[in-house]
Structure 1
Amino acid sequence: MALIKSLFDSATMEEQLAKMQKEITRLKWQSGILTLLLGAVGLVAFTKDDTTRFKEISVERINVLESDGRLRLVIANQSRSPGLLEHGKPYNPPVPGGNRPGLIFYNDEGTENGGLVFRGHKDEKGYYSATGHLSFDQYNQNQVLYLSYQDDNGDQNTGLHIDDWQKTPAFWDWRVDYKKAQQLPDGPAKEALLQKIMEPRPGQKAFAQRVFVGKNESKTALVSLSDRLGKPRLQLLVDSNGVAKLNFLDAQGNVTRSLSQ
């Protein structure tokens, strides 16, 4: 009986060893598969392309942001176009949006510094108006370089504009003062205040057009150079009849010398 029991125990041990061997083999396979899966996941993580491709997308507004959430560009239809922002916050008082379909650009500080805006429509009487405007703003000021197309039922002003803007105060502060002055009762006090706001220093306006290259409402092709008060002083032009001239003007706008072909 002892011998039989010993043989039975030996057989049981062999079975247990065989089971253990199978379990070890199974664990090795699982470990190998898991290692392969982790390696594949790591490879995908390091080679993943974050770009998503679309053949077509329809939206009302797209905000392009920096990684920290700062706004850099807005692409929007008219109703969802943004109001004016300075340092990422609305002007005080706010200037609402909803009227500038196109693209609005923002600088590193979240302040608007240019854009591309376009509109055009015809009213119930058949009169049309159209605008195309690409602008670049001076730091903390309004536009100083812009391409503009303005068409009021055939009266067009189209061209390149270069403006002067004062360095201080910032545009949003200047705008507040100007709007407040506009709301005053008509009279000498209002006119004097507006004059001071528009010309804070003698001989230098708050803003003035210095260069225009384009076509005006009279269909004259024109290059106009102006002084710091925005008064034209030199004009190179070809009028609608094909007459070419070079005009020199004084500070009052009078032609002091004219050279024709």
Structure 2
Amino acid sequence: MDRSIRRELTWLRVHAGISTPLLIVVTLAAFRQETQKARFTEMDVERINVVEPDGKLRMVISNRPRSIGPIYKGQPFGYAGGGRPGIIFFNDEGTENGGLTFGGSRTPDGTFTASHHLSFDQFDQDQIMVLNYTDNNGQRRVGLSFAERANVNIFDLVRERDSIMKLPDGPAKTAALEKWRGPRNGVPLSAERVYLGREMDRAAVLRLKDPQGRDRIRMTVDSTGTPRLEFLDENGKVMQRFPNGG
């Protein structure tokens, strides 16, 4: 056998003896890296989708432009995204069921607006527990509220409304919207039942309401520190007031 051929064969054997173990090591290392959790010291991101193994959304964290619109069982509805920076929660069916949103900015003339909103939704409906803060250049309101909603599927409700909105303007459209906004089997679409908060006039208030959302008991401590307790009838008339009787 030619000497040069023997040298080439020897080199191939050496190369194979070295490269094969290296290939095995690299392959095992890559496999090990795929099964490890990624760890970041710092990360800049515009949106994070937290999903279940089947791909259903569980939580979306995003900035304003990339924020998500309402989702029902994985299907967008209602309105487009782009206006809710923060965190949106989803239930086991991939339907939105609450969220945390926030914002605030100052205009060139020096005035400002700000808002923070944490809410949780009734199943297949809209928000029923809300912690809310709004501020219009010092005109501030902050409170916690609890509501009741009719047992009407929100996806069907919005589709019904959107269908009505396509009608030409006129008495028929107005009547259809009034009917759509009306109670379902005697239950309002939405009725606030409890509100606890600080009003724009700096009064601390607790309002307890009937199933129609009408104030029936009001407890107030106004901006001067004066307390008041009122009982109202279904028409909003004060039946009793403490102090001062009545």
Which sections of structure 2, spanning at least 5 residues, go unmatched? 1-19
Query: Structure 1 217/54 Cα, relative in aligned 2: closer, same or farther at 3 Å?
Result: same
CA contact (8 A) 2:150 2:184 kept: no
Alignment of 1:1-261 (within 5 A): 50-91=36-77, 95-168=79-152, 170-181=153-164, 189-201=172-184, 203-260=186-243
The count of aligned residue pairs is: 226
**CA RMSD, aligned part only?**
3.1
Deviations 1:206-255 (A, max 9, x none): 10111111111211101111111111111111011111011111112121
Deviations 1:179-220 (A, max 9, x none): 555676777655543333222247531101111111112111
Inter-partner Cα distance in structure 2 for 1:235 and 1:153: 27
CA contact (8 A) 2:70 2:81 kept: yes
CA contact (8 A) 1:203 1:228 kept: no
Q: CA deviation at 1:45?
A: 7.4
Which sections of structure 1, spanning at least 5 residues, go unmatched? 1-33
CA contact (8 A) 1:145 1:161 kept: yes
TM-score, structure 1 normalization: 0.76
Q: CA deviation at 1:72?
A: 0.6
Q: CA deviation at 1:52?
A: 1.7
Q: CA deviation at 1:102?
A: 0.4
Identity %: 42
Which one has a bigger Cα radius of gyration?
Answer: 1
TM-score, structure 2 normalization: 0.80
CA contact (8 A) 2:87 2:99 kept: yes
> Which segment is superposed worse, 69-78 or 119-128?
119-128
CA contact (8 A) 2:101 2:116 kept: yes
Inter-partner Cα distance in structure 2 for 1:96 and 1:252: 39
